[in-house]
């Protein structure tokens, strides 16, 4: 499933106004204490029931044009309002209560026929989009698991894989980026943007110029350095002016939401940890095969209660034609050592799992639906023993 094939679905939900659905689900209950919110049942992996496609249709318009969007971080007031909203929505979703009113410029909509809410920027206000994340909440019963995909424009295949994982585990929340990690421009010093190798920055062209972007747009000639009309003329990144390079460097300090110290993506992560104390998070990334030739996947874990063995054994049973390596015992790179969500999970007392997938493995997961389902089922043990 590629997002280029998604169909834009108009939101026509009865009882919704100003982006807020006032009556969804069963009779509201009493908001739980933190101890109660950590007592959700562990759910077993479910077969594909069409949720991935339905949710993909909802997310597609939120990502439209995101490859060329220059993301903007929230200021202090924005951050406080956004965190409060997402945190309140998380608890409302869990208890099937009416959702809270969103801050200006944001909306909450239910996915028709599904127990899902989508929190996002107001889609109709495209000229004022800031690259805020798309947050999906499962209402009612859900597994205590947070799934994240921060580089879906750049790490080819991580969006459909994240959707499969979210569905298979009936996870509580999903967070997806809606803007490119390089602000729609090539990596500094490169002629084209390439499929990333996490912190080490490998690459292979998963979302490169001349290819097909995740939102169905062709990526050639779009921004400075793409070999077309850029700030510095027609010479690609090498032809950019010093001023243009300085602007690009400044924009990249917050465009990469897995490393930026301030972003709506990070704010959503923090908010969900507030609503669901101790909830495990798993974040998906991609790397170029040549960056780690002996690995199909590289997994690491940090934070109180993190137990990497709960993930390694099931993954190794599924990924039988390639090595699943543990960072730092088996390999000393691609371990998410500078990931800001990992740091916040650790500080807030929650486990965080960082999973890097090779291009070959991602391609197979995209093409083989049954293999993707078995891969997603391998994450079932992450919530076990967390008191969730």
Per-domain boundaries in the chain: 45-388
Write down the pLDDT at residue 362.
Answer: 97
Grouping H, G, I as helix, E, B as strand and the rest as coil, residue 77 is: helix
pTM score: 0.75
pLDDT of residue 216: 28
Contact in structure between 122 and 105 (CB atoms under 8 Å): yes
Per-residue pLDDT of the chain (388 residues; tens, 9 = 90+): 433 333 333 333 333 333 333 333 333 333 333 333 333 333 344 455 789 999 999 999 999 988 888 788 999 999 999 999 999 999 999 999 999 999 999 999 999 999 999 999 985 656 678 889 999 999 999 999 999 999 999 999 999 999 999 999 999 999 999 998 887 554 544 333 333 333 333 333 333 222 223 322 222 222 222 222 223 333 444 444 666 665 555 556 678 899 999 999 999 999 999 999 999 999 999 999 999 999 999 999 999 999 999 999 999 999 987 799 999 999 999 999 999 999 999 999 999 999 999 999 999 999 999 999 999 999 999 986 444 3
DSSP 352: E
Q: Per residue in 50-86, is it b (16+ CB within 10 Å) or e — as a string?
A: ebbbbbbbbbbbbbbebbbbbbbbbeeebbebbbebb
The CATH class given to the 45-388 domain equals alpha beta
pLDDT tens digits, one per residue of 365-374: 999 999 999 9
Whole-angstrom distance, CA of residue 162 vs CA of residue 135: 13
């Amino acid at each position: 499933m590629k997002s280029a094939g998604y169909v834009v679905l108009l939101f026509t939900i009865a009882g919704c106004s100003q982006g807020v659905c006032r009556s969804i689900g069963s009779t509201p209950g009493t908001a739980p204490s933190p101890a109660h919110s950590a007592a959700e049942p562990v759910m077993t992996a479910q077969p594909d029931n069409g949720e991935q496609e339905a949710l993909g249709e909802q997310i597609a318009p939120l990502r439209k044009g995101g490859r060329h969007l220059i993301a903007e971080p929230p200021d202090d007031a924005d951050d406080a309002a956004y965190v409060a909203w997402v945190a309140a929505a998380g608890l409302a979703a869990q208890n099937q209560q009416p959702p809270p009113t969103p801050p200006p410029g944001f909306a909450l909509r239910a996915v028709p026929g599904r127990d899902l809410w989508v929190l996002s920027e107001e889609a109709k206000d495209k000229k004022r989009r800031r690259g805020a994340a798309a947050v999906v909440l499962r209402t009612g019963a859900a597994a205590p698991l947070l799934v994240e995909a921060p580089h879906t424009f750049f790490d080819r295949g991580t969006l459909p894989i994240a959707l499969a994982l979210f569905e298979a585990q009936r996870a509580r929340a999903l967070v997806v980026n809606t803007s490119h990690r390089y602000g729609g421009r090539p990596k500094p010093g490169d002629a084209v943007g390439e499929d990333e190798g996490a912190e080490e920055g490998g690459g292979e062209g998963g979302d490169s110029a001349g290819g097909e972007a995740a939102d169905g747009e062709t990526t050639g000639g779009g921004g400075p350095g793409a070999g077309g009309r850029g700030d510095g003329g027609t010479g690609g990144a090498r032809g950019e002016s010093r001023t243009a390079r300085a602007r690009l460097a400044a924009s990249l300090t917050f465009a990469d939401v897995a490393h930026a110290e301030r972003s709506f993506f990070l704010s959503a992560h923090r908010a969900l940890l507030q609503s669901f104390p101790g909830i495990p998070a798993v974040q998906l990334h991609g790397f170029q095969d040549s960056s780690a030739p002996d690995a199909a996947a590289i997994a690491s874990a940090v934070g109180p209660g993190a137990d990497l063995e709960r993930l390694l054994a099931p993954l190794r049973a599924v990924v039988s034609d390639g090595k699943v390596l543990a960072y730092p015992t088996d390999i000393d790179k691609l371990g998410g050592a500078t990931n800001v969500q990992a740091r916040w999970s650790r500080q807030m007392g929650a486990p965080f799992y960082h999973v890097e997938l090779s291009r070959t493995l991602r391609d197979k997961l995209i093409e083989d639906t049954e293999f993707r389902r078995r891969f997603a089922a391998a994450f079932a043990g992450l919530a076990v023993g967390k008191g969730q």
